[in-house]
Chains A and B, each alone.
Chain A
């Protein structure tokens, strides 16, 4: 081989072929990978919903309502206050419910318990429940994401 020759014709062609194969693989696999991901914006975001009507909930009861694609929990406490939280447990995404007897929010999946401020009392949940603002608009109870 000539010492001044940095690249042989064989090496050049091999690089060209390898590069071409890689480019072809990339051009094939990239669209497949992108195809597998769901399109963005397919889930509309909601910031406020009518969760219930006044008088619909007796004291010490609760209602699960739709907040966009996720469930929310509206509680009418025994003290007469209205509280709303995301009903998605911060542990592993199960839907929590109101335990009238103990006046706590309970997750049936892994026995996590939250108080009526959404704070963890016991069990494996690592974070409090997301709390929502509750406002009255005429006869409607409107729940909104906290600013």
Chain B
């Protein structure tokens, strides 16, 4: 018996690993013209892994206080060996993880992978996407620079607009009535403790559901062609991961993350202020919304509509009734396309305005 086999036997004797091995051996992935989209979930998972690893490294030097946060990041970027690389990887992977999650979510929407019995897989996926946005929002403040400071002021003010629960959530987030040192501590706490716990729990559930139910096949695909997950799909996944890791490293090396200027809570908001690209569509919507709509404050209407859109996305598997009966309907496709066009269009518009004020 070889050494590896002896190790396997040791664990087999003590823990019932048979069912796990069976699951891995029999797991297959459908092969059809949309198989490409199956890789995006794995890539998102890899990027989450990169975020955890680079985040843990940054923790070694980062100090979560208004007096020291900016200086500690500058120290990481200028004094610590490869500190600039670790921070850049964390910043670039943060962009990419949201992008990949968006692609993954959009592809599962248009391929109707949320059809029964996979409603809860969709639900956990959307929750994961919201958690990732939460990571982006809380992580943005941590360098305590001007851009982050004002983006957080606006972001937490938006939370406060929601009737009844809004002011409570705002106070909890800010730790007071304004964005201060206390807010930074709270955002750090959310970023490295609460959100990771939530992420690990929901990712675990999401993956478990996929393992138990297998991958969904689009309605248009009639073939039963499939490939084994181990090793065929897994090796392809690994190839994709290698490419993504290369992309993250190239972006980090050639376009390293910048730090900006230290936040001054008593300075005017500088011109050209804007949030991260994934919040730009909402930023532009708030900019264009009139001050009053039907007697209500414009921001309340805008935030209300955005919240409603979020709930609609969560409930897609139950709202798309034709899909529950194995049919497609142009209206569902059109609603998704209009929503996506709006988000992409508003983001593009905000970027264009930013360069042509």
Contact = CB atoms under 8 A, between A and B. Distances in A.
A92 B286 contact: yes
Interface stretch (A1-9, A14-22, A103-111, A139-147): A103-111
Interface string A40-68: 00110000000000000000000011100
Interface in B111-167: 150, 153-154, 156-158
Nearest to B291: A126
A95 B298 contact: no
A38 B182 contact: yes
Interface residues of B, number: 33
Contact of B291 (A36, A38, A120): A120
Contacts of B272: 108
Name, among B171, B182, B299, the residue most crowded by chain A CB atoms within 10 Å (CB to CB).
B299
B10 interface: no
A108 B269 contact: yes
Contacts of B269: 89, 94-97, 107-109
Nearest to A62: B268
A26 interface: no
Nearest to B302: A124
B75 interface: no
B157 A64 contact: no
A69 interface: yes
Interface in A66-106: 66, 69-71, 87, 89, 91-97
- Residue of B269, B272, B289 with most chain A CB atoms under a 10 A cut-off: B269
Interface in B172-190: 172, 175-178, 180, 182
B242 to A, nearest CB: 41
B297 interface: yes
B32 interface: no
Nearest to B170: A93
B273 interface: yes
A51 to B, nearest CB: 12
B204 interface: no
B294 interface: no
Contacts of B268: 64, 71, 87, 95-97, 108
B193 interface: no
B266 A64 contact: yes
Contacts of A124: 286-287, 289-291, 298-299
B270 interface: yes
A96 to B, nearest CB: 7
Nearest to B179: A93
B266 A94 contact: no
B271 interface: yes
Nearest to A69: B178
A120 B298 CA distance: 14
Nearest to A67: B266
Instruction: Kindly list the 6 A-B residue pairs having the minimum CB-CB distance in the complex, ordered from nearest.
Output: A97-B268, A93-B157, A94-B269, A92-B157, A126-B297, A110-B287
Interface of B: 150, 153-154, 156-158, 171-172, 175-178, 180, 182, 265-273, 283, 286-287, 289-292, 297-299
20 contacts: A43-B177, A64-B266, A69-B176, A69-B177, A71-B267, A91-B291, A92-B158, A92-B299, A93-B154, A94-B154, A95-B266, A95-B269, A96-B269, A108-B268, A108-B272, A109-B273, A124-B289, A124-B298, A126-B291, A126-B299
